[in-house]
Amino acid sequence: MLELKFSELSPVLVKFLARYGFGENCAITLAGTAGSRRVYFRLQEGLRNFIVLVSPSDDADFGRFLRITQFYRLMNFPVPMVYCIDDAAHQVILEDLGDRRLYDCVKAGEPPLELYRKVIYQLVDLQTRCFQRHQECPDIRSRLFDEHDLLWETEYYATQYLQGHRGIAFPPAEKARLDALFKDLAHQVDLQPKSIMHRDFQSQNLMIQFDGNVRVIDYQGSRLGSVYYDLASLLLDPYTMLSDADITELLRYYHAQSLNPLPYEDMFHQFLLAASQRVMQALGAYCFLSRVKGLTQFREYIQPGEKRLAWILDRLGWPELKTVLPKP
């Protein structure tokens, strides 16, 4: 559903909107979509805007999104305000954060370092101050992104990218070798320190406000997991392809801000381990969404994802793992 009529809004939302002068003649435009089939619409009446989230009736993340929002708002972590909810209709009115994403800023040529430092500040805040009180949010504390989930990611990569996109068929012995490599990788990442992870902390989910502040969206996947996973999502994002110099400077900035107890070189190695997981997952997602779901806009990110994974594996110092990325 990429169009919304005012008559399709739930009576609960219509009643709320009427208080602010919104009626059937208000402007309704598509504001964004998600791979989970959630759709966001912008409602405009005069100078006032709202975002309406319409979620599928079978979306298991709908209630989780609302409860995690409540926790983050309690923590003064910068997520949108929720103004009105209709649980039965799976419709929500949210604060409109505009349409200027970190992604748009980078593509427009804005110097990325200042922007990314602000984002890293928020990430460190999530991993420290918010993490200290994560027990207050059952939807976060009860979900652990562990070895089992990490193995799901690499199997997803093998199925959607290696087999589905590249057409590679694995003989049993080769598949067993690949599975052993992925299990070793997942085990090492699972041993990393845990904190709150967003799980999709990348440039299209980070909104830059008119005052330069950063706001975070699409966080319903929040859980406990590797402290390096979100950092990899941000800095090695195939959507933006930051330069080597910017990646290095921002990694050192994170290392200083987070008070990471590891020496920088050791932290960098751990970062690369988590990054290999993250980028393989992203490649699998780009292939699945474009080839299976027909969302062709994701196809253009497959090649950048390949380049980014090659960048990671070249630096990781694990020769056997490099074989999981076939030559173009």
Expressed in percent and rounded to 5, the helix, strand and coil fractions of the chain are 55, 15, 30
Beta strands in the chain (DSSP E): 27-33, 39-45, 48-54, 82-86, 91-94, 194-197, 206-208, 214-216, 223-226
> Which tokens go with 20?
């602010």
Which domains can be identified in the chain, with CATH numbers?
Answer: 6-94 (3.30.200), 102-324 (3.90.1200.10)
pLDDT at 36: 64
The pLDDT confidence band at residue 2, using thresholds 50, 70 and 90, is confident
Q: What is the pTM of this model?
A: 0.94
The pLDDT confidence band at residue 1, using thresholds 50, 70 and 90, is low
Tens digits of residue pLDDT in 233-272:
999 999 999 999 999 999 999 999 998 899 999 999 999 9
The candidate with the shortest Cα–Cα distance to 112, out of 230, 227, 239, 216, is 239
Asked if 101 contacts 204 with a C-beta cutoff of 8 angstroms, the reply is yes
Which residue has tokens 């992203």? Answer: 282
Average pLDDT for 195-219: 96
Cα 11 to the chain's mean position, in Å? 32
Tens digits of residue pLDDT in 115-166:
999 999 999 999 999 999 999 999 999 999 999 999 999 999 999 999 999 9
Tens digits of residue pLDDT in 266-314:
999 999 999 999 999 999 999 999 999 898 999 999 999 999 999 999 9
The kind and range of the H/E element at 278 are helix 264-287
What residues are paired with 43 via a beta bridge?
Answer: 28, 50
Asked if 82 contacts 66 with a C-beta cutoff of 8 angstroms, the reply is yes
pLDDT at 35: 60
pLDDT at 327: 80
Per-residue burial over 272-285, b = 16 or more CB atoms within 10 Å of its CB, e = otherwise: bbbbbbbbbbbbbb
> Which tokens go with 186?
């997942």
Q: Cα–Cα distance between 102 and 237 in angstroms, integer? A: 11
Rg of the chain over Cα atoms, rounded to whole angstroms, equals 21
